[in-house]
């Protein structure tokens, strides 16, 4: 239960709305009880009055009471639905924001051991499950307690034995059935949470890797594993439904036994009353209606195990300490950036080989450099350290002489523009995807940048309102990369980090982009990580990286004269140009 406390604390933001929703739920239950009890008494009284030949029976007031209870129940039910669902959606929004705000600082180091499907399942389904805490547990339980006390007190005034009897029975049901079905359903809830996560993870693996699995003949094996997990998930779902049905059956039996007991006690204690049937009907229908408040409580707590299991899964993720902490205060963003990397060592895992091995680098403000090297040599790792995705275990990185950990996050993000290898396109309009970099940019500025990166065809027709879809599925890889470059140009940061910016582009577009970077970002410090060699002769310096350190550095002319690695990389390009 302790795992739920951090999430229950979030309910304080909407405490008034939650209280009003529960109050409307209680009013609805009491109006239903009053309607059924008054209707039963009214019908019994009318029948007895007619049989006795009484013509002075006042049927107007009971009829008004029945109509009033019916109207109250309808209005209260509508208000309860509106208020409770609005509160539920607001709580769900708060839970998502709370969870995401805790997950974001963990990226990427704290989330390295989680797969994307696991993170998505935590952020979506586990948060949805926590939402049941209010609708399925808190609201029905509080409503049932208030109804039990109110109805028992009312009957106690009319008949002490009946009031105490009904109070004792309903209190025992409230005390025993939730606890019993929580213990029985706890294991089922935990298994459902685990199987749901496993199924989503396996399904994501099967869908994303279907082409490779089919090529290597493993698609049927993975599909068989997926089917087995799905069958187990369905078995536990069936057991949970059976448990819910069992709880309802037990409550139905207890309702019948209690009605029999109340009927016997009412008939015994009201034998001297001139019209005993009317009050007997009142007691019986009141008991029957009161037990309706217990129906959701009987089976609600079997879901508590699933809710607690989801809370534990979320807590195991969001309670991790972030690998990188930013200071609350720091230097103001600078207009230019000179960076210095001094003897940096970085390990993803120890005692594995270091990703960066005593690396040192100094880049003057406004200088443009390129870093080349084979896959796994540490190029992308260096860019991630410059953005403080991680901190090096040994060594220091400074911007303008200030160590990187002393810069505030907002200042660091304002000074740095990054074009990663995989540019994410959000399911939104073209304008929205570009405005991420500079929200104040008007449409004219957005269109100008798109023309500069060669994407003017994107705003033909619908213009900047064109919908790009999930992940920009209608865009090619090269178009997505150029949108990333357009974002970087819009941000106009003094430090520009580009990871394979021209990958997937044809030679003409590649030349255009490199020329654009040289002209538009001539005042910025630019670091380009690339495998492609076209246009590098324009840069100030070129570094060759291997095993986490630099093995060659210098200008294009100097490196070609050394006839080292860079020369051997560049020579095939010269031969192709000569042949063409």
Q: What are the tens digits of pLDDT across the range 523-551?
A: 889 999 988 888 788 888 999 998 889 99
More confident residue, 234 or 517: 234
State residue 339 phi and psi, 5-degree precision: -110, 150
Q: What is the DSSP string of 234-254?
A: HHHHHHHHHHHHHHHHHHHHH
Residue 494: exposed, middle, or buried by beta-carbon count in 10 A (0-12, 13-18, 19+)?
A: buried
d(CA 81, CA 211): 47
Q: Which of 123-127, 160-164, 335-339, 377-381 has the lowest mean pLDDT?
A: 123-127
Rg (CA), the chain: 35
Helix (H, G, I), strand (E, B), or coil: what is residue 482?
helix
In DSSP terms, 359 is beta-bridged to: 344
Torsion of CA 138, 142, 147, 148, to 10 degrees: 110
Evaluate if residue 560 carries a pLDDT over 80.
yes
Evaluate if residue 109 carries a pLDDT over 80.
no
What pLDDT sits at residue 275? 43
Report cis status (omega within 30 of 0) of the bond before 195: no
d(CA 261, CA 246): 23
What pLDDT sits at residue 543? 93
Give me the helices (H) in 159-218, please: 160-208, 210-215
Evaluate if residue 270 carries a pLDDT over 60.
no
What pLDDT sits at residue 386? 92
What pLDDT sits at residue 338? 93
The predicted model gives 361-372 an average pLDDT of 92
pLDDT band (50, 70, 90) for residue 571: confident
Tokens of 408: 């505030």
What pLDDT sits at residue 346? 92
Helix (H, G, I), strand (E, B), or coil: what is residue 71?
helix
CB atoms closer than 10 angstroms to residue 28: 22
Q: Which of 252-266, 313-327, 333-347, 365-379 has the lowest mean pLDDT?
A: 313-327
Evaluate if residue 278 carries a pLDDT over 80.
no
d(CA 434, CA 483): 7
The CA–CA distances, whole Å, from 494 to 229, 354, 419, 445 equal 51, 30, 14, 19
pLDDT band (50, 70, 90) for residue 274: very low
Q: H or E stretch including 144?
A: helix 139-158
The number of CA neighbours under 13 Å toward the Cβ of 449 is 27
State residue 525 phi and psi, 5-degree precision: -80, 125
pLDDT band (50, 70, 90) for residue 1: low
d(CA 221, CA 223): 5
Evaluate if residue 255 carries a pLDDT over 70.
yes
Q: H or E stretch including 498?
A: strand 495-499
Which residue's entry shows tokens 């001297």? Answer: 272
Evaluate if residue 371 carries a pLDDT over 90.
yes
State residue 403 phi and psi, 5-degree precision: -55, 140
CA angle 104, 107, 109 (to 5 degrees): 150
Strand order in 339-346's β-sheet? 356-363, 339-346, 394-399, 402-403
Total residues belonging to the chain: 580
Evaluate if residue 113 carries a pLDDT over 70.
no
Q: Indicate left, alpha or beta for 308 from its phi (over 0: left) and psi (-120 to 50: alpha).
A: alpha
Residue pair 127/102 in contact by the 8 Å Cβ criterion: no
More confident residue, 504 or 262: 262
Report all structural domains of the chain as residue ranges with CATH numbers, in order of start: 2-318 (1.20.1560.10), 339-423+489-579 (3.40.50.300)
DSSP 333: P
Evaluate if residue 194 carries a pLDDT over 80.
yes
The number of CA neighbours under 13 Å toward the Cβ of 22 is 20
Q: What are the tens digits of pLDDT across the range 427-483?
A: 888 888 888 888 888 888 888 888 888 888 877 777 788 888 776 667 777 888 888
Which residue's entry shows tokens 């394979």? Answer: 500
CB atoms closer than 10 angstroms to residue 329: 7
d(CA 573, CA 404): 38
Q: H or E stretch including 412?
A: helix 409-415
State residue 332 phi and psi, 5-degree precision: -75, 155
């Amino acid at each position: 239960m302790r795992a739920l406390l951090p999430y229950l604390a979030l309910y304080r933001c909407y405490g008034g709305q939650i209280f009003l929703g529960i109050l409307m739920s209680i009013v609805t239950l009491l109006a239903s009880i009053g309607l059924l009890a008054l209707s039963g008494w009214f019908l019994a009284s009318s029948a007895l009055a007619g049989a006795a030949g009484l013509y002075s029976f006042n049927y107007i007031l009971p009829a008004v009471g029945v109509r009033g209870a019916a109207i109250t129940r309808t209005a209260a039910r509508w208000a309860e639905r509106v208020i409770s669902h609005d509160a539920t959606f607001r709580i769900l929004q708060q839970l998502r924001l709370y969870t995401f705000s805790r997950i974001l600082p963990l990226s990427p180091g704290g989330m390295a051991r989680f797969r994307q499907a696991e993170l998505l399942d935590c952020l979506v389904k586990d948060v949805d499950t926590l939402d049941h805490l209010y609708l399925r547990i808190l609201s029905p339980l509080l409503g049932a307690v208030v109804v039990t006390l109110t109805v028992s007190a009312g009957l106690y005034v009319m008949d002490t034995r009946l009031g105490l009897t009904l109070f004792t029975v309903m209190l025992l049901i409230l005390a025993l059935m939730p606890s019993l079905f929580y213990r029985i359903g706890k294991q089922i809830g935990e298994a459902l949470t685990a199987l749901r996560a496993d199924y989503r993870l396996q399904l994501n693996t099967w869908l994303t890797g279907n082409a490779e699995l089919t090529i290597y003949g493993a698609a049927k094996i993975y599909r068989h594993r997926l089917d087995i997990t799905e069958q187990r998930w369905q078995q536990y779902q069936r057991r949970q439904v059976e448990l819910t049905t069992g709880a309802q059956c037990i409550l139905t039996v207890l309702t019948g036994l209690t009605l029999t007991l109340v009927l016997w006690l009412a008939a015994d204690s009201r034998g001297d009353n001139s019209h005993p049937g009317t009050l007997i009907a009142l007691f019986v229908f009141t008991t029957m209606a009161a037990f309706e408040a217990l129906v959701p409580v009987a089976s609600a707590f079997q879901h508590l195990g699933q809710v607690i299991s989801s809370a534990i899964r979320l807590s195991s993720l969001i309670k991790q300490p972030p690998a990188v902490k930013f200071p609350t205060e720091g230097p103001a963003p600078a207009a230019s950036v000179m960076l210095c990397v001094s003897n940096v060592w970085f390990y993803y895992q120890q005692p594995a080989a270091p990703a960066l091995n005593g690396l040192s680098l100094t880049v003057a403000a406004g200088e443009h450099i390129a870093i080349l090297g084979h896959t796994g040599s540490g190029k992308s790792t260096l860019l991630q350290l410059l953005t403080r995705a991680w901190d090096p275990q040994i060594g220091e990185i400074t911007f303008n002489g200030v160590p990187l950990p002393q810069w505030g996050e907002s200042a660091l993000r304002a000074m740095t523009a990054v074009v990663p290898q995989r540019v994410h396109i959000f399911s939104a309009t073209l304008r929205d995807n570009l405005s991420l970099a500079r929200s104040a940019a008007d449409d004219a500025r957005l269109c100008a940048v798109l023309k500069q990166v060669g994407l003017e065809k994107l705003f033909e027709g619908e213009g900047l309102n064109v919908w790009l879809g999930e992940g920009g599925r209608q865009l090619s890889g090269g178009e997505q990369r150029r949108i990333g470059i357009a974002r970087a140009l819009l941000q106009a940061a003094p430090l520009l980090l580009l990871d394979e910016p021209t990958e997937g582009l044809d030679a003409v577009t590649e030349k255009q982009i490199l020329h654009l970077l040289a002209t538009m970002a001539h005042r910025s410090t630019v670091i380009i990580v690339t495998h492609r060699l076209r246009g590098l002769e324009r840069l100030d310096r070129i570094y060759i990286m291997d095993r986490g350190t630099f093995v060659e550095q210098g200008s294009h002319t100097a490196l070609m004269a050394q006839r080292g690695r860079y020369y051997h990389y560049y020579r095939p390009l010269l031969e192709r140009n000569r042949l063409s």
